Structure 1
Amino acid sequence: MPEISVRGLEIPESPIRKLAPLAVAAKGRGIKVYHLNIGQPDLPTPQVGLDALKNINRTVLEYSPSQGYQSYREKLISYYKKYNIDVKADDIIVTAGGSEAVFFALMACLNPGDEIIIPEPGYANYKAFALLAGATIRTITTTIEEGFALPKVEKFEELINEHTKGILICNPNNPTGYLYSRSEMEQIRDLVKKYDLYLFSDEVYREYIYTDAPYTSACHLEGIENNVVLIDSVSKRYSECGVRIGALITKNEELRATVLKFCQARLSPPLLGQIVAEASLDAPEAYFRSVYDEYVERRKCLIDGLNSIPGVYSPMPMGAFYTVARLPVDDCEKFCRWCLNEFSYEGETVMMAPASGFYTTPGAGYNQVRIAYVLKKEDLERALTILRKALEEYPGRVDEK
């Protein structure tokens, strides 16, 4: 039998999805599973988006332009303007989700052997896309004890060498919920400018910021306009994960032309997804307010509940709808597997994402999990009760002395 590629063997499994077969098996045994592992909102998609999908009157479902429909890109200008992000339609390339935007950006900007700096813990698929581009990830470690705040600029500079090509951030952050301050963003800007690096900024959670501090986009940073690549998606802001529509935005014309070649090779972004996403831009402000208010309540419910469990600690996330929590266990991946394979409480269990998969440093995050508060409060409260019971029964519990 022919051998599998080295690339295929090296690419990591998703910490978010790799335990999915265990969840399926648990459900097959009649166990109810509370999914805290994945950022799949349960809140409704805007009605205007659903109506657009129901009322499609095309007789042919055609290819769209490789860069996405002009009408959608034109309409996005007003959306970004609400966040003081000044773009033209030609600055925007529509992608098949934010994931494709990250992948195309790294493929267009990095050569094999180049290095990219990513704060850890970070979104697990960044590692996969960097490997596919032949690049090496250098991580700048943030800690749960410091609320996952960025280290001082000197820590970044220790990692920069002749192979360094860029810095990739997620703001607000997945998996930690951390929100980068204006001063932190300016610190990154100064590094990008000093060493002429790319700044890849994944900003798909900008709607969900739980502080009065102003939101700072990479596109707000002066003097590095041609270095910035903004990654976006409709998945989270409209509960439209399945339509697979994202965007890559940059003022860098040469980079856009290069990315477009990758877009042409994959032909076009999803037609139906663009129809839904374009219509969803007309969602009323009341929709966004209700969704935001719901996440505020869920965040309080989850974090208060986690920190009331003996041995558990989670900082208060300032954005997105995730948190990383430290558990009193020997190994969180073993614990998460045990919850699905061997444990249930009154016929129910919980599924979480082991946080070690969001770190590149071996051994880091072994006693942490990422939890998404995308379930209604009643389900979160029930999941917290189950987690408390699981920690009481888990044979690998480790209490601090």
Structure 2
Amino acid sequence: MPTISHKGLQMPESPIRKLVPYAEAAKTRGVKVFHLNIGQPDIKTPQVALDAIKACDLEVLEYSRSEGSEQYRTKIAAYYAKNDIHVNAKDIIVTTGGSEALLFALGTIADVEDEIIIPEPFYANYNGFATASGVKVVPVVSKIENNFALPPIEDFEKLITPKTKAILICNPGNPTGYLYSKEEIKKLAELVKKHDLFLIADEVYREFAYDGIEHYSILQESGLEDYAIVIDSVSKRYSMCGARVGCMVSKSETVIKTALKFAQARLSPPTLAQIASEAALETPQSYFDEVKEEYVGRRNLVIEELEKIEGVKVAKPKGAFYCVAELPVKNADNFAQWLLESFNVDGETVMVAPAAGFYSTPGIGLNQIRIAYVLNKESLTKAVQILKEALKVYQD
């Protein structure tokens, strides 16, 4: 029979989604599953975005421009200005989710077998995007003991080779919830300028910065105009994951002109979703204030309850809506599957994301899980209690 590509065979499974069949089987058996495995917020999408779709009176759902509509990109630039990020519509390419923005970025800056340095653990699909692009991920390990802070710059520098093209960060981080400080961003800025590398920042969780700490974008750092590429999305900011609209932002004319060729090759981002996303930019600040307060409460609840469980170690996130917990088990993949196949408390169980898939280094994170605290507080309390009871009886 015909053979599958090496790239296809190397493509990693999603640690977030690979256990879905076991969750569906559990539900078929009548077991309620609390989903802590995926960053799908239960927060209501802003009404202004939903109303824009309902009010749409288009007679023909046409292609948009490859870079996204001029009107939408101009409004995105105005949104950034409110966040002390000064760019123009020409610096923005609208994409089908942040995922496509990252694919465009990798395609623009890296050839096959080039290298991208990423602090791990990192968003699992970075492995997939790199594989699809033929790019090698070079991990630099951050540790739960120091809350997954930026590793020492020396750790980055010793990994730089002639094939290194960029450093990629997620800020705030998925899966760790770590929020990089202004000082840490400045250290990375100096490093990429010194070695003539790109600095790519996935900033889709920008609004979710806690404890009075402000998010500092790489686009706010002067002198990075030729180096900085930001990946963004409406998915988490407005609880619009299904819209599949994101953008790639850079002040480098060469980067944008090159990325536009990739955008043209896929024709255009979704027209109807752009209408909703443009309307979402009118969301009042009160929406974000309420959402942030809700997530801080959820975070505090989850961290407090996890810290009560014997043998569990957890890093306290400063942003986003994830945390990584280290469990007293040998293999979190097996534990997560067992939770769905063989364990429940009064007909209820929990689905978590094994954290090994958020690492590139083999053998790291085997006893860790990522928890997405995207459920209401009552559900989160139940879910953590189920986890606690499960750990009492689980045997590797």
Could you tell me which residue of structure 1 aligns to residue 86 of structure 2?
86
Could you tell me which residue of structure 2 aligns to residue 178 of structure 1?
178
Q: TM-score, normalised by structure 1?
A: 0.98
Aligned amino acid, residue 318 of structure 2: M
Distance in 1 (CA, whole Å) between partners of 2:54 and 2:301 is 36
Provide, for residues 140-195 of structure 1, a one-character-per-residue CA deviation record: whole Å limited to 9, x for no partner.
10010111011211111110111111000000000000011111111100110000
Deviation of 1:134 (Å): 1.3
Deviation of 1:364 (Å): 0.3
Instruction: Determine if contact 2:119/2:151 at 8 Å carries over to the other structure.
Output: no
Flag the 1:284–1:214 CA change in 2: closer, same or farther, 3 A.
closer
Distance in 1 (CA, whole Å) between partners of 2:7 and 2:19 is 22
Deviation of 1:213 (Å): 3.1
1:1-400 residue pairs with structure 2 within 5 A? 1-396=1-396
Instruction: Determine if contact 2:345/2:386 at 8 Å carries over to the other structure.
Output: yes
Aligned amino acid, residue 102 of structure 2: V
Distance in 2 (CA, whole Å) between partners of 1:272 and 1:295 is 29
Distance in 1 (CA, whole Å) between partners of 2:386 and 2:206 is 31
Provide, for residues 329-359 of structure 1, a one-character-per-residue CA deviation record: whole Å limited to 9, x for no partner.
1110000000011111110100000000000
Provide runs of 4+ in structure 1 moved above 4 Å: none
SS in 2 for 1:118: strand
Provide, for residues 255-276 of structure 1, a one-character-per-residue CA deviation record: whole Å limited to 9, x for no partner.
1111111111111101111011
Distance in 2 (CA, whole Å) between partners of 1:237 and 1:179 is 16
Deviation of 1:113 (Å): 1.6
Deviation of 1:325 (Å): 0.4
SS in 2 for 1:374: coil
Distance in 2 (CA, whole Å) between partners of 1:108 and 1:163 is 15
SS in 2 for 1:300: helix
Distance in 1 (CA, whole Å) between partners of 2:262 and 2:252 is 16
SS in 2 for 1:72: helix
Aligned amino acid, residue 345 of structure 2: Y
Provide, for residues 209-230 of structure 1, a one-character-per-residue CA deviation record: whole Å limited to 9, x for no partner.
0132332111011212111110
Distance in 1 (CA, whole Å) between partners of 2:176 and 2:9 is 28
Deviation of 1:393 (Å): 1.4
Instruction: Determine if contact 2:245/2:274 at 8 Å carries over to the other structure.
Output: yes
Distance in 1 (CA, whole Å) between partners of 2:70 and 2:355 is 40
Aligned amino acid, residue 2 of structure 1: P
SS in 2 for 1:201: strand
Deviation of 1:77 (Å): 1.6
Deviation of 1:65 (Å): 0.6
Aligned amino acid, residue 2 of structure 2: P
Distance in 2 (CA, whole Å) between partners of 1:223 and 1:79 is 22
Distance in 1 (CA, whole Å) between partners of 2:156 and 2:75 is 38
Aligned amino acid, residue 359 of structure 1: Y
Provide, for residues 37-93 of structure 1, a one-character-per-residue CA deviation record: whole Å limited to 9, x for no partner.
000000100000010111110111111111001111111122111211001001010
SS in 1 for 2:313: coil
Provide, for residues 227-273 of structure 1, a one-character-per-residue CA deviation record: whole Å limited to 9, x for no partner.
11100000001000000000000011111111111111111101111
Aligned amino acid, residue 68 of structure 2: G
SS in 1 for 2:382: helix
Distance in 1 (CA, whole Å) between partners of 2:290 and 2:222 is 34
Distance in 2 (CA, whole Å) between partners of 1:54 and 1:13 is 36
SS in 1 for 2:119: strand
Give the length in aligned residue pairs: 396
Distance in 2 (CA, whole Å) between partners of 1:38 and 1:365 is 18
Aligned amino acid, residue 51 of structure 1: D
